[in-house]
Amino acid sequence: MKRLKLSLSAALALVALLLMAWVAQATPIGGPIGDARAEIRDLQEQFTEFVNSLDELDLELFNNQDQNDTGEKGLIDLIDDAIGVVDNNADAWTDIQFIDAAITLRNRLMTNNFNEIQTLISQIMENVGELQGKIEGLIEAGKIRLLRGQKIQRKLDTVSSDVTIIQDTFTALEGKIEDGDEGEEGCETTGRTDNCLDDVGDFLTLAEDTVSADPFSFDSKTVVIILFGAKELVDNIMTEKDRLFANLKEIARALNTIDSELRKSQSDLKKGKNFGSNSELLSILNSLRETPNLSTGLTHLQVYDLRGHRVLDESITPARELANLLGHLRANGVYLYVLTQTDEHGQQIGRRVGKLVVRN
C-alpha cells in the first residue's frame, strides 16, 4: 500500500507539472512556429495520458482492491490469496482456482495495459521525430535563430533519449510478466526455480502444474516457494516502473523549455526580425561532425565582417558545437565565412566561402 501511495503521488506531481507547463504557455499561436508549439502541446497531452496509464497499471499490479473494496483484486492480491490457500491446506481445486485467477489477470495485463502503453510510447516517439524534423526546417529557413535552435535541438535529443529509455524499460517489464518461453518445463526436471524461471507466467504455470500433477499429496512448501517467486518478480516490476518518473520529469522540463524558446522565436518574428538562413554552413558542419577520425586542425573556420576584419579563427572537431564556435560573434549582422579542409599532411583539400547571419 505504501509503494502504491508513493507511486500515485509521483504520478500526480508529474501530471501537475505537465499541466502547469501547458497553461503557462497557453498563448495564441500561429504560423510555422505556432505549428511546432501546437505539437509540443500534443506531446504534453500524450505524456499526461501516459502517466494516467501508469496509474492504471499500478492498480492492476499492486493492491487494486485496497483502493476500492468492491473492485477487482490486483495481481499481488491474487498471488497472496493463492499463497494463503496453500498455507491453510485447502483442497487442490481451490488452489488451482486462485492461481488460475492470477494467470487470467496476467494475460489481461499483456493484451490490455502493456499493449496500450507500448502503442502510446511508439506514437510519442514518432511525434518527437516529426518535431525534430520541423525544428530543423525552421532553423534552416531562418525562422529560429541558430543558437536558440540548437538549444531546442539538444532538448529534443534529451526527450528522444528518455523516451527510448522508457520504451526499452517497458519492453523488459513486459518480458517479466510473460516472455513467451517455456522456462517452467526445465524447472520441473531440475527442481530449481532460480535459474530457469524468468517471468511471472513461468512461476504461476509451474505452481498450477505442480498442484495439478498430484492434487491429493502435492508439496505445499514447494508451491508456496514458487508463488513467492512470482510475487517477488511483480514487486521488481513495480520498482523498475517507478524509476521511470525521473525520466518523465526530465521530459516535462525539456518540453517546457522548448516551448519557451519557440515562443521567444515567435515574438522575434512578430517584431519583424529576420535571421536569414545559415543552412549551408550548418549542413556542412553537421556532416563534418559525422566524419570518422576527424581531428583538430583538419578543418578550419574563419569568419570576417563586411569590412574585412577577421573576427573568428577556429579549428573544428566533432566535439565542438556550432553554437560554441559562433558564440564568439557578439555583434549582430552579416558575415562571410571561409571553411578550409586539409589532409593529414597539411595540404588543402577543400574550401568553401559563404554568408553567415548572426542575430543575438
**Which of 268, 291, 306 is the endpoint of a domain?**
268
Burial of 294 (0-12, 13-18, 19+ CB in 10 A): middle
Same domain, residue pair 130 and 184: yes
Q: Is residue 197 part of a domain?
A: yes
pLDDT score recorded for residue 280: 54
What cell does 284 get? 556542412
Is a pLDDT exceeding 70 seen at residue 289?
A: no
Scan for cell 528518455, then name that residue. Answer: 162
Asked if residue 248 and residue 331 are part of one domain, the reply reads no
In a domain, 192, yes or no: yes
209 & 262 share domain: yes
Instruction: Using pLDDT thresholds of 50, 70 and 90, give the confidence band for residue 342.
Output: confident
Residue with cell 524534423: 133
pLDDT over threshold 60, residue 228 = yes
Asked if residues 336 and 306 have their Cβ atoms less than 8 Å apart, the reply is: yes
Q: What was the pLDDT predicted at 28?
A: 46
Predicted TM-score (pTM) of the model is 0.69
Give the best-scoring range by mean pLDDT among 45-54, 57-66, 271-280, 289-298.
Answer: 45-54
Contact 238, 3 (CB under 8 A): yes
* Final residue in a domain of this structure, among 240, 268, 296: 268
Three-state DSSP at 1 gives coil
Residue 36, pLDDT above cutoff 60? yes
Residues 199 and 344 in one domain: no
Look up the CATH number of the domain holding residue 349.
2.60.40
**246/292 same-domain check:** no
Average pLDDT over residues 73-95: 88
Output the pLDDT for position 359: 63
Query: What pLDDT score was predicted for residue 296?
Result: 41
Strand blocks (E) in 196-347: 299-305, 310-315, 333-342
DSSP string, 224-263: HHHHHHHHHHHHHHHHHHHTHHHHHHHHHHHHHHHHHHHH
- 186 lies in some domain: yes
Do 166 and 101 lie in one domain? The reply is yes
Q: One-letter amino acid identity for 39?
A: E
Q: Pick the most confident of 119-128, 287-296, 346-355.
A: 119-128
Question: Does residue 48 sit within a domain?
Answer: yes
Starting from the edge strand earliest in sequence, which strands make up the sheet with 310-315, in order?
A: 310-315, 299-305, 333-342, 348-358
Distance between CA atoms of residues 314 and 299, nearest Å: 9
- Regarding beta strands 299-305 and 333-342, do their DSSP bridges make them parallel or antiparallel, or are they unpaired? antiparallel
**Band of residue 297 on the pLDDT scale cut at 50, 70, 90:** very low
Residue 37 has pLDDT above 80, yes or no: yes
Q: Is the pLDDT of residue 263 over 90?
A: yes
Q: What is the pLDDT of residue 294?
A: 46
DSSP 314: E
Is residue 53 predicted with pLDDT exceeding 90?
yes
Determine contact, residues 337/353, Cβ cutoff 8 Å.
yes
Q: Is 273 domain-assigned? A: no
Please give the Cα distance from 359 to 357 (Å, whole number): 7
Higher pLDDT, 184 or 76: 76
Predicted local confidence at residue 236, as pLDDT: 93
Q: Which CA distances in Å does 43 have to 21, 274, 355?
A: 12, 28, 36
Q: Are residues 69 and 179 in the same domain?
A: yes
Using CA atoms, how far residue 200 sits from 75, 102, 107, 170, in Å, is 10, 10, 10, 15
- Tell me which of 29-38, 229-238, 268-277 is least confident: 268-277
**Would you place residue 293 in the very low, low, confident or very high pLDDT band (cuts 50, 70, 90)?**
very low
Check whether 56 has a pLDDT greater than 70: yes
Q: Are residues 154 and 297 in the same domain?
A: no
- Whether residue 27 is found in the same domain as residue 124: yes
Q: Do 261 and 293 sit in the same domain of this protein?
A: no
356 against 22, higher pLDDT: 356
- Expressed as residue numbers, the domain containing 319 is 279-358
Q: Are residues 314 and 263 in the same domain?
A: no
pLDDT band at 82 (very low <50, low <70, confident <90, very high): very high
Residue 76 lies in a domain: yes
* Least confident piece of the model among 133-142, 224-233, 310-319: 310-319
> Number of folded domains in the chain?
2
The residue behind cell 535459474 is 195
Give residue for cell 576527424. Answer: 294
pLDDT at site 192: 45
Is 211 in contact with 97 (CB distance < 8 Å)?
no
Angle at 320 between CA 314 and CA 325, to 5 degrees: 45
Q: What is the pLDDT of residues 145-158, one digit of tens each?
A: 766 787 898 899 99
Residue 13 lies in a domain: yes
Residues 62 and 167 in one domain: yes
Residues facing 356 on adjacent strands: 335
Of 268, 287, 305, which one is at a domain's C-terminal end? 268
Confidence at residue 3, expressed as pLDDT on a 0 to 100 scale: 57
The mean predicted confidence, pLDDT, of the chain is: 78
User: What does the pLDDT read at residue 274?
Assistant: 47
Q: Please check the confidence at residue 19 and state whether its pLDDT lies above 60.
A: no
Domain assignment present for 274: no
Per-residue confidence (pLDDT) for residue 11, from 0 to 100: 57
Beta bridge partners of 341: 299, 350
Residue 65's pLDDT is: 55
The answer to whether residue 250 scores a pLDDT higher than 80 is yes
Alpha-carbon distances of 6 from 9, 58, 232, 238, rounded to whole Å? 5, 11, 19, 11
